A and B are shown apart, each in its own frame.
Chain A
């Protein structure tokens, strides 16, 4: 049995920045993948939501690069991901996508990912012994709090749909 994946280990500031960048980069890929799926299945409202989420995560990734200064965080993160079996705490669950899903569902997926990222950075901030790692984890934690708040604000704009959201008069499967 191969070793199960673990959240990125953080023993230095560079590790923490790499983990943060990997989380954002993975989210960009996953949101773009979901946007592509919705484009294929003609759900334009969701295409826009997922592209916007991907763009937002890309901006967060750039912010990590800015925080890293001269350190090549992207190269280091890719090298880490190549050699270690890493499971990212904020992975968007693309297997819960549905062709008739609504922006509310998309934002729920996003909220779950942001909350996992927040829990991850909070744990590091609470347990790190290196003051630099602790300070950066606090900063990233505050960023994630902002992201959670942002998604919650967006959810006010897109209320939960009623139970008929997945009704399709011409469904792909006719089970009876």
Chain B
């Protein structure tokens, strides 16, 4: 997290913009927005010190609904945009919002390398296991037996396991939350933002329109039976028996964040350009 300027305490409502969300009623993303604003208020960060960056999809509309700085970027590129912002403005707290389609499919490669680089920012993926905005295509986390007109007989493809990928790629903080528990989610977001380096928080956020079956998630989720670890091996073993519904902080690493020095290079660009002169 970036340094915090003390000023009058903000309420969660102070982080909401005047724009009304257009998500479907009952969508889990409403709760995620609530968790964002509660987390920011708990941290006492002024809205102008936070930037929420997103890509494309239902979940990626979230920056517009906050009063923080925001960037609604192109599909799958939210992490690239956020990385550029964070290395040039390390004073800002950067939170990146994405969905399972945006973040794990077209943005999948950025996800790997953002974990590897370990820049100090928080990546929140609202996972509903479907492309909701484009009317229900399967995403990388969709179950193989998901049988619809678009996927007759199911996809037949094993889903992507985001937490495994994050751990293997070097993320420094890994957690899973459920949108229907906004207070717990807010607390995990506080921890994620405060933790140095790249923090990854997967939030199970049901799509009530294209995946009404996900309303059962509230009965399936449970607090993980074990505390967070800083041991990658232990975290990996826990993920081997994870059914996707264990909630809480899985891993808190202690790798130093990557932050290149800005504005202190002694390299003269004109000298470099000489090699390329025609």
Please report the C-alpha to C-alpha distance between residue A100 and residue B192 in the assembled complex, in whole angstroms.
37
Given A36-B21, A82-B42, A173-B136, CB of A4 within 8 Å of CB of B26 = no
Q: List 14 A-B contacts (CB under 8 A).
A: A1-B228, A3-B187, A33-B34, A37-B30, A39-B20, A40-B20, A40-B22, A41-B25, A78-B9, A82-B42, A94-B30, A95-B208, A97-B26, A173-B209
Please report the C-alpha to C-alpha distance between residue A14 and residue B26 in the assembled complex, in whole angstroms.
35
Chain B residues contacting A11 (CB-CB under 8 Å) are: none
Please tell me if the beta carbons of A82 and B41 are within 8 angstroms of each other in the complex. Answer: yes
**Contact residues of B: prevailing secondary structure:** loop
Query: Pick the contact of A172 from B41, B188, B209 — CB < 8 Å?
Result: B209
Query: Pick the contact of A2 from B9, B26, B187, B225 — CB < 8 Å?
Result: B187
Please report the C-alpha to C-alpha distance between residue A1 and residue B248 in the assembled complex, in whole angstroms.
4
Q: Within residues 203 to 218 of chain B, which ones have a CB less than 8 A from any CB in chain A?
A: 206, 208-210, 215, 218
Please tell me if the beta carbons of B218 and A1 are within 8 angstroms of each other in the complex. Answer: no
| Contact digits for B53-86, partner A, Cβ 8 Å, 1 yes 0 no | 0000000000000000000000000000000000
Please report the C-alpha to C-alpha distance between residue A82 and residue B38 in the assembled complex, in whole angstroms.
8
Residue of B nearest to A100 (CB): B25
Please tell me if the beta carbons of A174 and B149 are within 8 angstroms of each other in the complex. Answer: yes
Q: How many residues of A contact B (CB 8 A)?
A: 31
Please tell me if the beta carbons of B184 and A4 are within 8 angstroms of each other in the complex. Answer: yes
Q: How many residues of B contact A (CB 8 A)?
A: 46
Task: Say if the beta carbon of A176 comes within 8 Å of chain B.
Answer: yes
Chain A residues contacting B187 (CB-CB under 8 Å) are: 2-3, 5, 85
Chain A residues contacting B24 (CB-CB under 8 Å) are: 41, 99, 172
Chain A residues contacting B13 (CB-CB under 8 Å) are: 29
Please report the C-alpha to C-alpha distance between residue A78 and residue B248 in the assembled complex, in whole angstroms.
24
Please tell me if the beta carbons of A38 and B188 are within 8 angstroms of each other in the complex. Answer: no
Task: Say if the beta carbon of A9 comes within 8 Å of chain B.
Answer: no
Please tell me if the beta carbons of A4 and B223 are within 8 angstroms of each other in the complex. Answer: yes
Interface residues of B (CB under 8 A from A): 9, 11-13, 20-28, 30-31, 34, 41-42, 44, 135-136, 148-149, 179-181, 183-184, 187-188, 191, 206, 208-210, 215, 218, 223-228, 247-249
Residue of B nearest to A5 (CB): B183
Please report the C-alpha to C-alpha distance between residue A80 and residue B21 in the assembled complex, in whole angstroms.
28
Please report the C-alpha to C-alpha distance between residue A176 and residue B149 in the assembled complex, in whole angstroms.
5
Given contacts A1-B227, A1-B249, 10 further A-B contacts (CB under 8 A): A1-B226, A2-B188, A29-B12, A37-B20, A37-B21, A37-B30, A40-B22, A41-B25, A94-B30, A99-B25
Task: Say if the beta carbon of A20 comes within 8 Å of chain B.
Answer: no
Q: Within residues 77 to 103 of chain A, which ones have a CB less than 8 A from any CB in chain B?
A: 78, 82, 85-87, 94-99, 101
Interface residues of A (CB under 8 A from B): 1-5, 29, 33-34, 36-41, 78, 82, 85-87, 94-99, 101, 172-176
Q: Which of B187, B188, B224 has the most CB of A within 10 A?
A: B187
- In the assembled complex, the CB of A37 is this many whole angstroms from the nearest CB of chain B, namely 4
Please report the C-alpha to C-alpha distance between residue A38 and residue B26 in the assembled complex, in whole angstroms.
11
- In the assembled complex, the CB of B136 is this many whole angstroms from the nearest CB of chain A, namely 6
Given A85-B184, A173-B209, CB of A96 within 8 Å of CB of B21 = no
